């Protein structure tokens, strides 16, 4: 899967002949699973039509602050567009636009969006060879990179003027692979191994019955996806869960019981950099598992339970370089109980959910957490989707690394 999958790409097109190649660029982004919105400078529409780009990007194309002819004059909010984007790509970037970007001129929607965007900005210069080597252009290119923008260098070849030299916009395939490589290199968890437990465990009573719990695995699977998107190689040890995950950085190992989860966790822990134990592991299991289905005979039945191994505590005991993160699901005296677990199980962070909070805990799509550090500092978050909660958890972990 491409690192661009699921990314929101804002493509800015300026008025150079290479603009005709942006149809191919949009297609490549879409093919890799990115969401694309296009902003064009008014003059760039002479080189490629907005209709082509809106059809390929499956989104309306933005070009002016508002459309005078439209029935409902809608304001194209440059701040909103800038905040929407995960990355902004300006291709082709003409000498004129590069100069305006350098100097903070914002006399069109593209430039205003560039100025208000907070995301990484890539630009692919395209111009004739003499313009490209002019000291003022060189100065602008240096300055823009100094601002933190990333240049996708122009290549050499035949130019629209008929001259041959440097100034051709990089080919769409090369632009895309340049961005993919750059994003991969900048991922905060690149090269890190992350072990994750998720979902419930089922403890067999007999061949057809078990003791389980209501955990859906949603929180753990959301963490797996977020961590993988940050570049981590994730080993996901999942108890029985209906959740699915498809990511080339995630290896899923399915287990049923606490004992199986314990064995798999210990198999991978030594080589792990980060371990997050989000599974709702059964604390007790039937002492004897009946070999045959238990028949209905008596009015009552007694099943003797014994403790399962505490996976998290056992990893806390052998922890060396690993960052160890646990979860605590509490109903009362929440912070105190969580702090107790943090200390007892030798953790670096603990994620607390309280069943007192509406929308938190098992089988919901939302969660409300407090992250407690081993220095006992606390960060409390509002009710959010489990995907957003996973991002908060991973941010805290990245900060800790």
Find, among 162, 78, 166, 179, the residue nearest to 123 by Cα. 179
Rg of the chain in Å (alpha carbons):
27
Give me the least distance between CB of 229 and ligand CTP, in Å please.
22
Which of residues 272, 326, 361, 394 is near ligand CTP by CB under 6 A? 326
Site membership for ligand CTP, residue 342 (CB under 6 A): no
Find, among 216, 241, 272, the residue nearest to 397 by Cα. 272
Contacts with ligand CTP: how many residues (CB under 6 A)?
Answer: 15
Give me the least distance between CB of 269 and ligand CTP, in Å please.
12
Site membership for ligand CTP, residue 81 (CB under 6 A): no
Site membership for ligand CTP, residue 310 (CB under 6 A): yes
> Which residue lies nearer to ligand CTP by CB, 11 or 258?
258
Question: Which DSSP letter does residue 208 get?
Answer: S
Site membership for ligand CTP, residue 308 (CB under 6 A): yes
**Helix 311-318 and helix 258-269, axial crossing angle in degrees, nearest 10:** 20
Active site residues: 213
Q: Residue with structure tokens 């989707």?
A: 385
> Which residue lies nearer to ligand CTP by CB, 27 or 374?
374
Site membership for ligand CTP, residue 372 (CB under 6 A): no
Site string for ligand CTP, 129-158 (x = CB under 6 A): ------------------------------
Site string for ligand CTP, 180-209 (x = CB under 6 A): -----------------x------------
List phi, psi (to 5°) of 205: -100, -45
**Pairwise CA distance, residues 38 & 282, whole Å:** 51
> Which residue lies nearer to ligand CTP by CB, 55 or 331?
331
Site membership for ligand CTP, residue 348 (CB under 6 A): no
Give me the least distance between CB of 335 and ligand CTP, in Å please.
13
Site membership for ligand CTP, residue 327 (CB under 6 A): yes
Neighbouring residues of 9: CB distance < 8 A, sequence distance ≥ 6:
29, 34, 35, 36, 37, 85, 86, 87, 88, 89
Which of residues 279, 324, 369, 394 is near ligand CTP by CB under 6 A? 279
Site membership for ligand CTP, residue 235 (CB under 6 A): no
Find, among 389, 338, 398, the residue nearest to 360 by Cα. 389
Find, among 122, 193, 189, 188, the residue nearest to 153 by Cα. 122
Q: Do 152 and 122 form a contact (C-beta atoms < 8 A)?
A: yes
> Which residue lies nearer to ligand CTP by CB, 108 or 264?
264
> Which residue lies nearer to ligand CTP by CB, 76 or 314?
314
Give me the least distance between CB of 337 and ligand CTP, in Å please.
7
Find, among 257, 386, 277, the residue nearest to 342 by Cα. 277
- Per DSSP, the three-state class of 386 is helix
Site membership for ligand CTP, residue 328 (CB under 6 A): yes
Which of residues 61, 234, 312, 389 is near ligand CTP by CB under 6 A? 312
Give me the least distance between CB of 338 and ligand CTP, in Å please.
8
> Which residue lies nearer to ligand CTP by CB, 32 or 279?
279
Site membership for ligand CTP, residue 311 (CB under 6 A): yes
Which residue stretch of 56-64, 213-221, 230-238, 327-335 sits at the interface with ligand CTP (rule: CB under 6 A)? 327-335
Q: Residue with structure tokens 């070009």?
A: 63
> Which residue lies nearer to ligand CTP by CB, 27 or 309?
309
Site membership for ligand CTP, residue 277 (CB under 6 A): yes
Long-range contacts, 177-180 (Cβ 8 Å, 24+): 178/122, 178/152, 179/4, 179/87, 179/89, 179/122, 179/152, 180/2, 180/3, 180/4, 180/32
Find, among 319, 255, 302, the residue nearest to 281 by Cα. 255
Report angle CA 231, 34, 396 to the nearest 5 degrees. Answer: 35
* Contact footprint for ligand CTP (CB under 6 A): 197, 258, 277, 279, 281, 283, 308, 310-312, 326-329, 341
């Amino acid at each position: 899967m491409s690192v661009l999958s699921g990314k929101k790409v804002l493509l800015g097109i300026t008025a150079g002949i290479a603009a005709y190649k942006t149809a191919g660029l949009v297609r490549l982004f879409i093919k890799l699973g990115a969401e694309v919105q296009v902003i064009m400078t008014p003059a760039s529409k002479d080189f490629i039509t907005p209709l082509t780009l809106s059809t390929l990007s499956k989104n309306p194309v933005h070009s002016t602050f508002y459309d005078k002819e439209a029935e409902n004059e809608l304001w194209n909010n440059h701040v909103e567009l800038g905040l929407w984007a995960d990355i902004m790509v300006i291709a082709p970037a003409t000498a004129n636009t590069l100069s305006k970007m350098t100097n903070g001129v914002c006399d069109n929607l593209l430039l205003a969006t560039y100025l208000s965007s907070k995301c990484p900005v890539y630009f692919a210069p395209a111009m004739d060879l003499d313009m490209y080597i002019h000291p003022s252009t060189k100065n602008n290119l240096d300055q823009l990179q100094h601002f933190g923008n990333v240049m996708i260098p122009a290549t050499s070849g035949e130019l629209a003027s008929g001259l041959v030299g440097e100034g051709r916009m990089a080919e769409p395939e090369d632009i895309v692979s340049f961005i993919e490589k750059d994003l991969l290199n900048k991922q905060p968890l690149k090269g890190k191994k992350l072990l994750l437990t998720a979902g419930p465990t089922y403890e067999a009573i007999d061949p057809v019955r078990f003791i389980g719990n209501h955990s859906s695995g949603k929180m753990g699977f959301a963490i797996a996806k977020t961590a993988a998107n940050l570049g981590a190689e994730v080993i996901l040890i999942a108890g029985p869960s209906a959740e699915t995950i498809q990511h080339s950085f995630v290896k899923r190992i399915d287990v049923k019981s606490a004992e199986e989860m314990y064995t798999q966790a210990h198999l991978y822990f030594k080589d792990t950099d980060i371990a997050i134990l989000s599974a709702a592991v059964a604390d007790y299991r039937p002492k004897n598992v009946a070999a045959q289905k238990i028949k209905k005979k008596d009015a009552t039945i007694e099943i003797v339970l014994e403790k399962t191994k505490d996976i998290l505590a056992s990893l806390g005991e052998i922890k060396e370089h690993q960052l160890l993160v646990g979860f605590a699901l509490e109903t009362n005296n929440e912070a105190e109980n969580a702090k107790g677990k943090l200390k007892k199980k030798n953790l670096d962070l603990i994620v607390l959910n309280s069943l007192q909070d509406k929308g938190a805990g098992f089988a919901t799509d939302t969660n409300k957490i407090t992250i407690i550090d081993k220095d006992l500092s606390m960060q409390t978050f509002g009710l959010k989707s489990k995907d957003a909660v996973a991002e908060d958890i991973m941010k805290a972990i990245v900060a800790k690394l």
